[in-house]
Amino acid sequence: MEVPPENPAAASPPVEGGLMAPATALERCVTGIEGLDNILSGGIPKGNMVLVAGSVGTGKTTLCLEFLVRGAERGERSLFLSVTEASDKLIQNLSTFEFFRADLVTNGSLVFVDLPVIYDRLGLEHEELSEDEIGILIRTIRDLVRQLGVKRLVLDSLTSVGYRIRRDERIRDFMLRLGLELSDAGCTSLLVSEIGPVAGRYSLHGVEEAIVDGVVLLWNTRRQGDILRVLQIIKMRGTSHSQAQYVIELTPIGLLLAPHLKGGRMEGP
Amino acid sequence: MPDSDRILGIPELDTSLATALPPGWMAVLTGPSGSGAPLLAKQFANAGVGISPVLFYTTYERTRDVEEAFEDFGWDASAIKIVNLADEYYDRVLVRGLEVARAREQGLTLEQMTIDRPKDRVATRYSLTTRMLADLAAIDTPFRLVVDSVDFFFEVLQAQEVTTVARQIRYRCQTVGGQALLAVHSRNHDPAFMGALEDLADLVFDLRAEPKDDRYETTLYVEKVRHRPDLQRIARAQIGESGWTLADRPNPKR
């Protein structure tokens, strides 16, 4: 399904020279989610770090998993860093989707790692991570990305990590350093942000959205008794994009996007 | 002689101390290295065999060394439960410390992140205090417990936590009629802690070896008997075939 940008005039201009700016605005990481690639003018600029923000049940994890599966199918090694859910269970859930191919996991194209295992191996046991420990965590993720040649990464969720990096300046530092490392490695990343229904805020600390290159917002809305999942690109450095709202449907073959028609009574994010 | 469930294991002392160590009481034995306090701790443990379950927590000897010391005096080591806290601590904490240091220095491979996932490790993180108290909580009948020595706890816990452990042991003794002996070898601990520990104890012994002519002479000081200050004693002690004996019948201070 092709969904053209609804309001190209509202698209944010590319930001040049920013810390997270991609090497070239023309290089794209094609998400493989057709509707999303269309509204992003061909995909996420390669090396971008993108926040996927939304409340519970809005489809964040599914979107991220499809992003990885599509990448692995294209020969781009993909890594899912799971904090809140065990990988085994995630793979089990993923196998209910037709777009998922188990061989991508067995041949190592799609890799799942549980972050709590990394915490355990590295002795990161304190409720609040120190600056040194944050550095160790970043180095470990960087080394893994380099070692495996990872081109797509999902962290599910940044919020869970953020609970252990309690100070704003430290989460800012964590994201800046991680973003630079991933961008240098040519790795495009999606960081899941779990948010409540607070308008104008997309993350736990409130500083994350300022640092990332892009924000994809997902929320549920009601219309005539139905719950609709809605997606909107809030920002995306390095590309023009639609800022319109799109209804998404989680189908066995993947995410489908359609323009959000404004008829009926609706509730915002 | 007091009832068998009260005996400390040194016949002369048991006879002279009218109270001996009643169920529910906790004793503290101080004695520096070379004083023979570890043998007295084992003798106390042996005296409980056949009367109640005996737990012997060693913190610096190999389990085999404890067993051999028992055998040397004809005591049955198989009748007591020996728990080697130092070995457990090494296996669960110190080895892990080395693994963590190596992982931090050398990094992790994908295999280390995905193979042999220690899923239950967080839930079973080793705690010296929890480890011991879990054993105690599982016993709901009178028991005899020896910790040789408390010094190890000072190495790995804060002084306040050590006092809490001692308090928990005492509470458990009082609840189910247990008896405990805590050995302390070093004299360099915080005096405030030692004061608190001795306040908690119902009996306090001190064993000292001092040079006299060409040999060492050991003296046992009975420094505290709860509610019976008249039973404080000073007596020469020596090791015989059955362990410590008192060379003289202890002389009352008054």
What ipTM describes this predicted complex? 0.74
Q: Which two tokens stand for residue A177?
A: 């350093």
Q: Who's near B137: CB < 8 A, 6+ residues apart?
A: B172
User: How many other β-carbons are positioned within 10 Å of the β-carbon of residue A233?
Assistant: 24
Q: Which of the 8 DSSP states describes residue B92?
A: I
Q: Which residues of B touch A140 (CB under 8 A)?
A: 107-108
User: How many other β-carbons are positioned within 10 Å of the β-carbon of residue A164?
Assistant: 18
Pick the CATH number of A8-259 from 3.40.50.80, 3.40.50.300, 3.40.50.11030, 3.40.1350.10: 3.40.50.300
- The continuous run of DSSP H or E covering B57 comes out as strand B54-58
Average pLDDT, integer, range B60-73: 95
Q: What is the pLDDT of residues A126-156, one digit of tens each?
A: 889 999 999 999 999 999 999 999 999 999 9
- Pick the residue from chain A with its C-alpha nearest to B99: A121
Q: Which two tokens stand for residue A100?
A: 């998922």
Q: Helices B191-200 and B159-176, interaxial angle, to 10°?
A: 0
Contact A143 B104 (CB under 8 A): no
Put simply, whether B98 touches A (Cβ < 8 Å) is no
Minimal CA–CA distance to B28: which of B157, B159, B150, B188?
B150
- Pick the residue from chain A with its C-alpha nearest to B112: A121
Kindly report which listed range (A26-40, A108-122, A245-259, B131-145) carries the lowest average pLDDT score: B131-145
Kindly report which listed range (A21-30, A53-62, B51-60) carries the lowest average pLDDT score: A21-30
Contact B118 A117 (CB under 8 A): yes
- Nearest chain B CA: its distance from A123 CA (Å): 6
What are the boundaries of each domain within chain A? 8-259
Q: Which residues of B touch A89 (CB under 8 A)?
A: none
pLDDT greater than 80 at residue B243: yes
Give CA B227 to chain center in angstroms. 23
Chain A residues at the B interface, defined by Cβ less than 8 Å, are 86, 111-114, 116-118, 120-123, 125, 136, 139-140, 143-144, 147-148
Which one of B109, B113, B125 has the shortest CB-CB distance to A117?
B113
What's the whole-number average pLDDT of chain A?
87
**Its pTM surpasses 0.90:** no
Contact A123 B96 (CB under 8 A): yes
User: According to the model, what pLDDT value does residue A269 have?
Assistant: 56
Q: Which two tokens stand for residue B251?
A: 């002389």
Put simply, whether B1 touches A (Cβ < 8 Å) is no
Determine the longest span between alpha carbons in chain B, in angstroms.
74
Please name the residues between 120 and 139 in chain B that touch chain A, using a CB distance below 8 Å: 121-122, 125
Q: What is the pLDDT of residues A66-112, one digit of tens each?
A: 999 999 999 999 999 999 888 989 999 999 999 999 999 999 999 99
Put simply, whether B106 touches A (Cβ < 8 Å) is no
Q: B4-94+126-252 architecture in CATH?
A: 3-Layer(aba) Sandwich (3.40)
Average pLDDT, integer, range B179-188: 92
Minimal CA–CA distance to A116: which of A87, A149, A153?
A87
Contact A118 B113 (CB under 8 A): yes
- Nearest chain A CA: its distance from B113 CA (Å): 6
Q: Who's near B20: CB < 8 A, 6+ residues apart?
A: B2, B6, B7, B8, B13, B14
Contact B110 A111 (CB under 8 A): yes
Q: Which of the 8 DSSP states describes residue B187?
A: S
